[in-house]
Structure 1
Amino acid sequence: MRFIFVFMLWVSFVSGASYKPQDGDIIFQSLQSRQSQAVEQVTDSPYSHVGIIFINNGQPYVFEAISNVIYTPLNSWIARGNHKNYVIKRLKDHNLSNNDIEKLKQVASTFEGKPYDIWFGWDDNYMYCSELVWKIYDRALKLKIGQLQTIKEFDLSSPLVKQILKERYGNDIPYQETVISPVAMYNSPLLITVDKQW
């Protein structure tokens, strides 16, 4: 009987039935775009896109860098993903206070509307998805979610990746540019998984 009860709890967790979105949750997915395929190849992971969840007027939204930095309703965000798969993580040893949440939202507001960064630069003029979430947590709470790397540390050998690099940088690839990848954030020891559909 105890086994059945534990099993039902596990099914409820995996199916997302028990998940309640909270401010600051970090959500990962795979998109079907050409760039997303390249990101997955260079990072050897299924995660090519990431956003941070905020509750606005009682409804969950994903704050993300996609075409611009925007708020997207959580359900719409999930539906856009490859096979509607996603993973949601949360800080493991840090319960966000109202003050923490306000700080996160204040920092997020400084990025809203910025154009997407196809060059993966580390300045604030343009933003890509994992850069956005990483900088929000770092600047608001001094928490570094994931290990920073440089472009040269990734596997750039696939034909698709080589083609995209050529298109965007020509022969001047910025190998020393600081970057943060979705999978580096996913693997952060500061996070635990709270919901998964994969």
Structure 2
Amino acid sequence: MRWSVLVAVWLGAHGAVAAPRLEASLRTGDIVLHTSRSRQSEAIRAATESPFSHVGLVEVTSKGAWVVEAVQPVQRVPFAKWKARGVKSHILVLRPKDLSDAQRQQAVDAAKTHLGKPYDWKFGWGDEAMYCSELVRKAYTRGAGVDYGKMERLGSLKVQGLEKVMRERYGVKVPLDLELITPASLAADEKLEVVHSDFPSVR
């Protein structure tokens, strides 16, 4: 057998083993991030200068690991399916450093109260609709009393060159004073420890 074929076989076997090992290492309340394939992903990454454009919360049950995420609509999906949706299946797993199992479960329970709600395309802060990083931030604030990430003004992000995209979303008057939370801001929070990463230079 040629060397290139042997390498491909080894890599395939290694990947098949690595995925279950990662899932087995997850805990309820872990925060998972990846590079989404959604239409808005490129703009989010450009504005935040980060590879992360989507985030969710892990819940581990007797039936496996799941991710609660704000898409259209807010939903709970198997972890393996969530991971596969990211570009190259790369993922960053973060874990709160000083919270109990009960607090992490309370955060997930808080996130699940929003299941079925529509995705918030305008990144508002009301509870009628949710975007991904808003869901994670509010889940920990309300469920465990801890804030992760920092609120930022839309105009403080790297939005130069994204005027057309923003006008399509907001109309002529773009709300540059809008306060929002980004996946990149969650990824940078030092109160969260890196459990796993396929991304170089996470922090």
**Bucket of the pairwise TM-score, normalised by the shorter protein:** 0.7 to 0.9
Amino acid at match of 1:181: T
TM-score, structure 1 normalization: 0.86
Percentage identity across aligned positions?
A: 32
Map 1:102-181 onto structure 2 (within 5 A).
102-158=105-161, 161-181=162-182
Please tell me whether residue 52 in structure 1 is matched to residue 57 in structure 2: yes
Q: Which residue of 1 aligns with 2:14?
A: none
Q: In the aligned structure 1, how far is the partner of 2:105 from the partner of 2:32?
A: 19
Q: In the aligned structure 1, how far is the partner of 2:137 from the partner of 2:99?
A: 18
Q: Which residue of 2 aligns with 1:7?
A: none
Q: Secondary structure at the match of 1:34?
A: coil
Q: Which residue of 1 aligns with 2:87?
A: 82
For structure 2, the 5+ residue unaligned runs are 1-17
Amino acid at match of 2:50: S
| 8 A Cα contact 2:74 2:116, kept in partner | yes
Amino acid at match of 2:36: L
| 8 A Cα contact 1:122 1:177, kept in partner | no
| 8 A Cα contact 2:28 2:101, kept in partner | no
Q: In the aligned structure 2, how far is the partner of 1:44 from the partner of 1:133?
A: 20
Pairwise CA RMSD of aligned residues? 1.7
Deviation of 1:95 after TM superposition, in Å, equals: 3.9
TM-score, structure 2 normalization: 0.84
Q: Secondary structure at the match of 2:40?
A: helix
Q: Which residue of 2 aligns with 1:29?
A: 34
Amino acid at match of 1:31: S
Q: In the aligned structure 2, how far is the partner of 1:106 from the partner of 1:86?
A: 23
Task: After the TM superposition, list the runs of 4 or more consecutive aligned residues in structure 1 that deviate by more than 6 angstroms.
Answer: none
Q: In the aligned structure 1, how far is the partner of 2:130 from the partner of 2:150?
A: 18
Q: In the aligned structure 1, how far is the partner of 2:74 from the partner of 2:27?
A: 20
| 8 A Cα contact 1:91 1:192, kept in partner | yes
Q: In the aligned structure 1, how far is the partner of 2:61 from the partner of 2:193?
A: 23
For structure 1, the 5+ residue unaligned runs are 1-14
Q: In the aligned structure 1, how far is the partner of 2:136 from the partner of 2:180?
A: 12
Deviation of 1:151 after TM superposition, in Å, equals: 0.7
Higher relative contact order (CA 8 A, sep 6+): 1
Q: Which residue of 2 aligns with 1:12?
A: none
Please tell me whether residue 42 in structure 1 is matched to residue 43 in structure 2: no
Q: 1:61 aligns with which of 62, 66, 69?
A: 66
